Amino acid sequence: MIHDSYAYDAAMLDDLVRSHRPGGPLPQAFYTSPAVFNADMDRIFGRYWLHAGHSCMLPEPGDFITWQVGSDSILVVRGRDGAIRAFHNACRHRGARLCRDEIGRKPRITCPYHAWSYDLDGRCLVKTEKEFGVHERELGLVPVRLRDVAGLLFVALGDDPVDFDSAAAGIASLLAVHGLERGKVAKQATYDVKANWKLVFENNRECYHCPSAHPEYIKGTYDVMRLDPRRAAEVERVAEAANRRFAALGLEPGDASSRMTEGFWRARRAPLMEGWVTQSLDGTPVAPLMGNLKDRDVGTLRITVFPNFWQHASSDHAVATRLTPVDATRTRVDVWWIVDKDAQEGRDYDLAKLMPFWQRTSEQDWAICAENQAGVSSRGYRPGRYGLTQETNVAQFVEWYLGELQPRQAPLKVVSA
């Protein structure tokens, strides 16, 4: 069922999908049209698992976060039993939004309109039967599906989300040792990026732009160097040495490649450049070790989940990025720097050392994305072609997107004469 807020013409969408030439960027309307935006919110954001935040953002009972995504506002709250639950942030009386703040702590959830209140587990606390003719047990907050994957909180807005079990198991098996659930947000940065959410994700899916755009990033990682045949042997040697170290630490093997050939998620450890133990400007540590890690040199664990999340976790901090589509040409982007919860600013870490690697890289990306949107929006835009080695991940993202955008057709009934 198409959500009332997201009307679009399925026939128009079919025509648009057919007008795409595989192996290159999407036709203009995919990046500019409000109707396609509606289809994205319905078909992609309404069916996939979306990163809402991290469990460490709500360490105590009553701690909550809210997240506005399209027409939905989601309330994620930790109950007195310690469990984290998600609800639609809408009152069961006449629908008012319950919490305006994006983060906070409350003993119960009280509606600002007529002051109905709800327990942290969503139960309505007002005796409603006499006045309203409905028992309060019928008036609990509407739950939203939530998965806590080793500290990453994913929600599914629609009634029939895609299967997330293998993604959750695969991510948790690699991420658990990083102890994100015992972390804290050292810093959050929020950006209003003037680009369609797909352009932002497409940019994340390749490092072809890295040499020209990211002087800091390319010093610490192999994404660019691995593509240079003259340095292939060096990358191979470093990856092998890293894998011996990882194996000795009981960690899964790493891979200098950033390949992602299918599906909507990946979790992969990648070695850092020799001499680099974390993603900081000079590769030296910027915070205490996290989780159960015993060694600083564990490379970086990269996690990507379509359509709105990626994260790099080093031994001493993690940097997570969440995309929130705002309209056809704007995306809110939140970036979080996460360290161990016992680390104290000024004593154990310094934001001026912790942040620049990803702050600069991210801001360079948002500027590129805005320029990309500006050109794509013009009359002069003609979709080009993706590189066959450097942009395969972008092609994979676009093919995934198009495949998910079209409603599954019911098989045609063959009526024999």
Positions in the binding site for Fe ion (CB under 5 A):
365
Q: Residue 166 burial by CB count (10 A; 0-12/13-18/19+): exposed, middle or buried?
A: exposed
Which residue is it, tokens 């910027």? 286
**Cβ of residue 81: shortest distance to ligand FES, in angstroms?**
25
**Cβ of residue 375: shortest distance to Fe ion, in angstroms?**
17
Q: Which does 113 bind (CB under 5 to 8 A by kind): Fe ion, ligand FES, none?
A: ligand FES
Q: How many angstroms separate the Cα of 134 from the Cα of each of 46, 139, 162? A: 30, 8, 34
CB closer to ligand FES, 13 vs 90:
90
CB closer to ligand FES, 89 vs 361:
89
CB closer to ligand FES, 128 vs 304:
128
371 φ/ψ angles, rounded to the nearest 5 degrees: -70, -40
Q: Which does 305 bind (CB under 5 to 8 A by kind): ligand FES, Fe ion, none?
A: none
User: How far from chain centre, in Å, is Cα 134?
Assistant: 39
Q: Which does 199 bind (CB under 5 to 8 A by kind): ligand FES, Fe ion, none?
A: none
Q: Which does 365 bind (CB under 5 to 8 A by kind): Fe ion, ligand FES, none?
A: Fe ion
- What is the rounded distance in angstroms from the CA atom of residue 124 to the CA atom of residue 259? 48
**Cβ of residue 33: shortest distance to ligand FES, in angstroms?**
35
**Cβ of residue 25: shortest distance to ligand FES, in angstroms?**
45
Q: Which does 94 bind (CB under 5 to 8 A by kind): Fe ion, ligand FES, none?
A: ligand FES
Which residue is it, tokens 């639950």? 85
**Cβ of residue 393: shortest distance to Fe ion, in angstroms?**
12
Q: Which residues of 377-405 are buried (b: 16+ CB within 10 A; e: fewer)?
A: beeeeebeebeeebbbbbbbbbebbbebb
SS3 of residue 122 by DSSP: coil
Q: Which residues bind to ligand FES, rule: CB under 6 A?
A: 91, 93-94, 96, 111, 113-114, 116
Where do runs of H (alpha helix) occur along 20-110? 29-32, 34-39
Q: What is the sign, positive or negative, of the torsion defined by CA atoms of 116, 69, 155, 315?
A: negative
Q: Which does 36 bind (CB under 5 to 8 A by kind): ligand FES, Fe ion, none?
A: none
CB closer to Fe ion, 65 vs 398:
398
**Cβ of residue 91: shortest distance to ligand FES, in angstroms?**
3
